Amino acid sequence: MTHPLEAPQRHRKYPFVHMRISDHSVLDTIEGRHNCRLCNRSRKFFCYSCYVPVGELEELLPRLELPLQVDIIKHKKEIDGKSSAVHAAVLAPRHVRIHTFPDIPDYRAEPGVVLIFPSATALAVPQLFERNVRLQTGDNYGLPKGHHMGTMLRRRMDEVELEEPQARHERRTWTLDNLPVRRAVFIDSTWNQSRGIYADERVRGLRTVVLQNRLSQFWRHQRGSPRWYLATIEAIHQFLLEVHINAWGLNTQYRGLDNLEITEGFHQLAAPLRTQSAIADVGREAPYNGQYDNLLFFFAHMYDLIHKYYDHNDLIAYRRPI
């Protein structure tokens, strides 16, 4: 039986069609390199050390307002120029900051902080919003006691909403001021490096959230990992997308999720949250209508370039499992 994520008719479509991503063809018009106004290093589109655009892109890039703060903990061995995490800091500078481990804040005393990490006790996003949802892990997938899927998460954990029809009418009203999450922390590193960061006492006590509802479109696949291991910018977009939908619903006219290879379970959980709204309504507390899609501005551009100039099936580094 074909998994819904792997349906061939979805897999071959351009994933970002109908999303509210600004026209990134402007990047094709940028000639040469420019000096960063902060460090004076020569860069193409943005400085991946200072997280600012360079040259004329200062005035041309879309800028985003996010509903919460985003912290990215980068491993010192991660190559700055290849990290998609920088995209978020450049495009949403008021809400995103990047730290290089071990120079990180102590989050233990700060309320409303979650860590996006697949621990043994990780929650799904709807659980943060008091929805009657649980992760269906079965009998620990048959693993011995002491082992859990958080060690590698080779298999998806389905989200299941338990039947409580009455509760649907009693859900609280969420605003930007009372969201259950005030800051989301993401780890930007390889899987082995991330486990070392997670062991740090400054983050280990945080509530953890797992994201497994979407397949990655990243062209440089990490060997041995399943396709729901998202690139950092994809993970930030997916988390904010799920937070927004659980808080304020999903615009019934928004078609941006059609080709993103998102699980059927996600759509089922989002179904009761679909809300009729104007096609142009992109207010901060309006039903989701692509408010954070521009986080993928650079990512979508690179995706286009890779698929325009290379056959990724012929390049080992770009070969992904179906």
202, two tokens:
């400054």
Residue 8's pLDDT is 31
* Residues 6 or more apart whose Cβ sits within 8 Å of residue 292: 64, 66, 237, 240, 241, 244
- Give tens-digit pLDDT for 151-201: 445 556 667 777 665 555 566 899 999 999 999 999 998 877 888 899 999
What integer pLDDT is reported at residue 93 of this predicted model? 97
pLDDT digits (tens, 9 = 90+) for 259-298: 998 988 899 999 999 999 999 999 999 999 999 999 999 9
* Cα–Cα distance measured from residue 122 to residue 168, given in angstroms and rounded to the nearest whole number: 24
How sure is the predictor about 21, in pLDDT bands with cuts at 50, 70 and 90?
very high
Question: What are the tens digits of pLDDT across the range 219-260?
Answer: 665 555 655 679 999 999 999 999 999 999 999 999 999 999
Alpha carbon of residue 59 to chain centroid: 26
* β-bridge mates for residue 214, sequence order: 262
Residue pair 255/289 in contact (Cβ under 8 Å)? The answer is no
Confidence of residue 7 (pLDDT cuts 50, 70, 90): very low
Q: What are phi and psi of 235, to 5 degrees?
A: -65, -40
DSSP state of 101: T
The 3-class SS string of 199-242 reads CCHHHHCCEEECCCCECCCCCCCCCCCCCCCCCHHHHHHHHHHH
Task: List pLDDT tens digits, range 43-100.
Answer: 999 999 999 999 999 999 999 999 999 999 998 887 777 789 999 999 999 999 999 9
Strand partners, 298: none
Residues 108-148 pLDDT 10s: 999 999 999 988 889 999 999 988 887 766 555 455 555 44
Predicted TM-score of the model (pTM): 0.87
Q: How far apart are alpha carbons 180 and 108 in whole angstroms?
A: 16
Helix, strand, coil percent values for the chain (each to nearest 5): 35, 15, 50
Helix (H, G, I), strand (E, B) or coil at 2: coil
Residue 216 has pLDDT above 80, yes or no: yes
The fraction of the chain above a pLDDT of 70, given in percent, is 79
The candidate with the shortest Cα–Cα distance to 153, out of 125, 120, 184, 192, is 120
